[in-house]
Chains A and B, each alone.
Chain A
Amino acid sequence: MKVGTHLKPALLMVGLYLFLKFVMPLFTAPLPASLIMLYLMLTFSGIMIFMTLSGTSMESFLGPIFRFISGDGQDGTMKMARLAVLALFPLLVGWQTYTSTAPSTAPPAENRTVHPAPPGEFAAMSNPVPNTPENVMQGKGLYAAYCSPCHGLFDGKGPASRGFNPPPANFKDPTTIAMLQESYLFWRIKKGGVGLSVEGMPWKSAMPRWEFELKDEQIWKIILGEYDGAGQKPRTWE
């Protein structure tokens, strides 16, 4: 028997697991456990197909495994290893069964839509305030007074932000105002968290309903200041 017959597949499986678990998240989002499991299963199936292509390869791959399990002519450490594997397998199955059937102590999963569709009247508005340095400056002044306690320096990390869930939006993040139109921001600022539709879970948002305290013109100026300060451009109709 060649050692590589089993060492190579074992190393491949372990290496693949370490790669999926620890290396992949450096380039992309962490992979879900179920996806890692799927990749490992596919690899295992591939190894099994490859190793059982011919009678010789099958014997050299499966023969030692079968002899190990059946315990033919074993002594010393091999005997101990076999007993350990035979004892561990049912325990692992039992543990898996327990974890999958144990009553859940986790709270219900939440499926919040981050950017639900605005009401029709807010869909096609354009900013009536010209994008001049003066208006941007005024907008930034209003932003500092009204928005920065939570939204901070356009990064969502203001001094008042820490207790809120969902956290205040980070405008520097390319998935927030950069992919939204100015009219969307106007709606969110004017109507606040309580103006969200049901899929936006309005009962959780701390965003004030600024229409009671700010004029429309001030809101449009804040929007100019917000895009400028965050270094983003509003999405436009292509």
Chain B
Amino acid sequence: MKKYQFAVWCLWLAGGVICAVGVAVSGSAWAQESVSIRAMLTKSVPADDPTASAWNSVAASQFPMSPQVHWPTRIQEVTVKDVRVRGLHDGKQVAILLEYDDPTQDPDDAAAIEFMVGDKKAHFAHGQPMAEVEGGAVNIWFWKNKDAKALDMNAKGFGTLKVQDQQDLKGKGVYQDGKWKVVFSRAVTTGDANDTQFNPGEFINIAFAVWDGKKDPASGDLKEKGSQKAVSSWWYFRVDPQPDYTSYFYALLAIGLAAGFEFVVIRKLRKGPSA
């Protein structure tokens, strides 16, 4: 009889665990798509080293790329199909690493990161003007292989790209085994109103662009240049805040309360006449 009793309790237990795990898994399924990138807090940021081992300590988010078709001059096919992105910060400096496959290293290979700047939403294609909504500008970080540096720029619509007077950006690319690794770094906050400011803990929009600087062997023209590039949609980026341990405190408190509850119930059952 006791054998059966035990089996029944195991079933109850299994049912409870399945419910809890199932509910937890189905609840977190929304967050598992790669829609965001977080710059993790670290002691020192590899601001100009795309191959630093520190990058291996954070997981990469992968974002798909499309040919730029929103505005002429369009392009129908691009080399780079995905970018993998990692972020690190130490409270003062923030660094973002882009990594993507490119079969050839060319002087005109280039990559860019885009953010909205100011309090208005900006269209992902260079902050194109919108018909019904007043849009804002974008802050573009642009790196080109042959320049060996990154430029801090702004735009509000195609054809309005402008290099900022105040350059706050560093950029470095390393080509290895058919892959580009490009690191961009900047202070978390700058005094420049044209720059995107990173408020730790707050998600902001981020987008990417990549140009394969390969030349067409017949014509000698660049395959991808200007608006002919691989682009991503807006995704989310945040600089992680300082760790917050209050939820561990609440969990310990809850464990204490639950154990106390058990104690009271058992005492009551042992004393009570019906038990």
Contact = CB atoms under 8 A, between A and B. Distances in A.
What band does the interface of chain B fall in when counting residues whose beta carbon is under 8 Å from A? Answer: 35 or more
Contact of B244 (A97, A103, A161): A103
A72 B65 CA distance: 65
A181 to B, nearest CB: 19
Interface in A151-169: 159-166
B10 A81 contact: yes
A162 B265 contact: no
A212 to B, nearest CB: 8
B34 to A, nearest CB: 11
A88 B63 CA distance: 40
What band does the interface of chain A fall in when counting residues whose beta carbon is under 8 Å from B? Answer: 35 or more
Contacts of B122: 203
A17 B15 CA distance: 9
B125 A206 contact: yes
Interface string A83-100: 011101111111111110
Contact of B266 (A70, A77, A202, A207): A70
Interface string A181-215: 00000000001111111100111101111000100
B129 to A, nearest CB: 7
Interface stretch (B45-53, B140-148, B250-258): B250-258
Contacts of A95: 251
B11 A91 contact: no
A96 to B, nearest CB: 8
Interface in B197-243: 201, 203, 230-236, 238, 241
A14 interface: yes
Interface string A1-41: 10100110011011001000100000000101100110010
Contact of B129 (A10, A194, A196): A194
B13 interface: yes
Contact of B258 (A36, A94, A196, A198): A94
Contact of A107 (B35, B258, B266): B35
Interface string A26-70: 000010110011001000000000000000000000001011111
B14 interface: yes
Contacts of B251: 94-95, 97-98, 101
Contacts of A164: 66, 233
Given A101-B247, A106-B31, A70 B275 contact: yes
Closest 4 CB pairs of A and B: A163-B66, A107-B236, A97-B254, A90-B258
Interface of A: 1, 3, 6-7, 10-11, 13-14, 17, 21, 30, 32-33, 36-37, 40, 64, 66-72, 77-78, 81, 84-86, 88-99, 101-103, 105-108, 119, 149-150, 159-166, 191-198, 201-204, 206-209, 213
